[in-house]
A = this chain, B = another copy of it.
Amino acid sequence: MKIRFYNARILTMEDNKIIEGELHTDDTKIAYIGPAKNNDTIFDREIDCKGNLLMPGLKNAHTHSAMTFSRSLADEYCLNDWLHKAIFPREAKLTADSVYCFSKLAYAEYLAGGVTACFDMYFEKEANARAAVETGFRHVFCGAANDYGGFEDLERYYIELNSYDPLVSFIYGFHAEYTTCEDNLKLMSDLAHKYNAPVYAHISETKEEVDGCIERYGVTPAVLFDRLGIYDFGGGGFHCVWFTDEDRKIFKDRGLWSVFNACSNLKLASGITPVYKFISDEMNIAIGTDGAGSNNALDMFREMYLDTVLSNVETHNAAAIDPFKILKAATTGGARCMGLSDCDILAPGKQADIIMIDMDRPCMKPENNVTANIVYSGSPQIVKMTMIAGKILYEDGKYTTLDIAEVYKDAAGFMEVLR
């Protein structure tokens, strides 16, 4: 497919400038960005953008997609009880088929909210990979090993899922320090060294987690992982709420990625990440929604908003965060964190993972500052189109690859067992 977008405004995210002109795709890639031009290309489709904005898709850099089953199911627990009383018993009843279905439900929400890739930690990965490829969604798996299982499969996943399909990849990861004994952490480090590979995990999400790690090892999770060589080839962590200055220094010095999950941390009463500190230290940052059970939406706009204004109130400074830096974290940052260096900005040769922002929504007017409007006033309502690898998957509220009625019906059926 060759698609021509014309009368477009284009925010490449290389900088905070908006280009007026055209964007052409060729198969999975961007072929051209620039002024309107006459050439001999025959396009399969020409789309009049009517001044709407093309920009890189949002990258959900930490999620558990198939946890859509748990939305509004157990809203009354803090993290520890929530996991052990509400989630783990129900996860034991999940099957390949239900993970396949609930992942598709998540993809539907991602696409409707301008998300073009997710960094996903969950199980039943084969079924999930099938759902991703059928949908056309870009899915980066993160290893989810812990003491209850998963380490035995990590290497196989690494090999199999990284050659499964161009839309699918796999990055090493484990659940968290508090669910992973030292022997398994060392096993993780060995794998990182064997493949020169980055590693990700939940890290410093709650104060209890950090206190427990200090009790067990005398150091914080970041220091522990660093000492064990887990981070020798990069990677990073999800949440980072209770990072110490030393933890931030390790992440900064090693170029590790800190992924923020503001909504989940508020909802589960875990805490507030001091995003402003990570930004003033010029660290590598990305943004994720976490799973639907603890958020409860998979809405990157809400995350971006909170990553700005929560720092304002924490620092008593209404300008604590430049909103463009948050938009960058949610697009370019996320892509690089997830190993998707060809999905980070809009440029010829890059993957055509593009969203169209509807500039004709009232919340986008007046246009005093377009990127500030997106971060401070945006919501899924402003997403007019979502394209992944050159294929339009969502347009004007309709899905092109998902049979959404079937997804809803199947999800309701599986809930009979899970509820």
- The residues of A with any CB-CB pair to B shorter than 8 Å are 68-73, 75-79, 82, 105-106, 108-109, 112, 263, 265-272, 292, 295-299, 301-302, 305, 308-310, 312-313, 315-320, 323, 360-363, 365-369, 372-373, 376-381, 404, 407-408, 411-412, 415, 419
Contact = CB atoms under 8 A, between A and B. Distances in A.
A135 B297 CA distance: 32
A373 B302 contact: no
Given A78-B317, A317-B269, A379-B381, A296 B372 contact: yes
Nearest to A106: B362
Q: Is the interface of A mostly helix, strand, loop or mixed?
A: helix
A379 to B, nearest CB: 4
Contacts of A380: 363, 379-381
A79 B316 CA distance: 10
A318 B404 CA distance: 32
A295 to B, nearest CB: 7
A271 B366 contact: no
A373 B71 CA distance: 7
A35 B280 CA distance: 59
A12 B71 CA distance: 23
A379 B105 contact: no
A77 B309 contact: no
A50 to B, nearest CB: 11
A372 to B, nearest CB: 4
